[in-house]
Amino acid sequence: MEHANNRLIVSFVLLLLISACGPAEKEDTDRTEFDSTEVSSKRTTDHFESDERGIEDSVIYEFARKYPEMQYAYLPTDEGRITTVKGNYQVEIDGVDGPADLEKFARRMEELYESRERNREAYNEGIDKPAAPLRGYDAYYEILDQNFEYPEGADKNTPEATVFVEFVVDESGNVAQVKAVSGTYYHKDSEVVRAVEKAAEQAIKEADMKWKPAEKAGKPVKMKLEIPVPVTPD
């Protein structure tokens, strides 16, 4: 069965771009191997080992191993279950053959997103009033768009992609501990990933806007946030 140029909508409204797969017999064999209960003990993809970060997830590693040309990224949409302060998102996936594998990958991406949400909720427990940019999110995202510098020479296959960046707003409204969330933007070339993630982090670090700190029982406290930064070529 040919999957080229088909689009599948799976749970939480994922847009999946599918390349051609091989004969049915070979696909069944590969799937049996891939869905084996024997989980690899290796936790990072070959592409990410050099920077000691990696995608620390066995499922994603297995996909990267089986599909060396795989790439994925979050894209903004009008509808979808994955939501942030900016809006809804779906995930575009290239280079993965077969609806069963795509659905498995989609489920894992949703689990990872929800896990990050739970971790932030635990960190922010008891907060009565969340932190917010002094001039509002619309103005803040305009600044991020202006600050983001697309890395020179980076691949432009996903110009509308998004990198999620986590940071903490402290009691004085300052932004600290800025770090791109590993795995929200994946490219087969690790140099592209590092460059794009660094550009997203810099866009937030250089944003000239103070935040109003979160409050707990009427007192300012730290709060952890995750912000989507658009990846847009100049």
Residue by residue, what is the 3-state secondary structure of 189-234? Answer: CHHHHHHHHHHHHHHHHCCCCCEECEEECCEEECEEEEEEEEECCC
Report pLDDT digits (tens) over 23-59: 333 434 443 333 333 333 333 344 444 334 445 688 8
What's the half-sphere exposure (Cβ side, CA atoms, 13 Å) at 210? Answer: 5
**Helices (H) and strands (E) in the chain — how many of each?**
5, 13
Report pLDDT digits (tens) over 160-192: 788 999 999 999 999 999 999 988 888 888 888
Output b/e per residue, 58-95; b: 16+ Cβ within 10 A. ebbbbbbeebeebbbbbbbeeebebebebebbbbbbbe
The larger pLDDT score, comparing residue 53 to residue 153, is at: 153
Taken in order of first residue, the domains within the chain and their CATH numbers are: 7-122 (no CATH), 126-231 (3.30.1150)
Report pLDDT digits (tens) over 189-225: 888 888 999 999 999 999 999 999 999 999 999 999 9
pLDDT for the residue numbered 16? 31
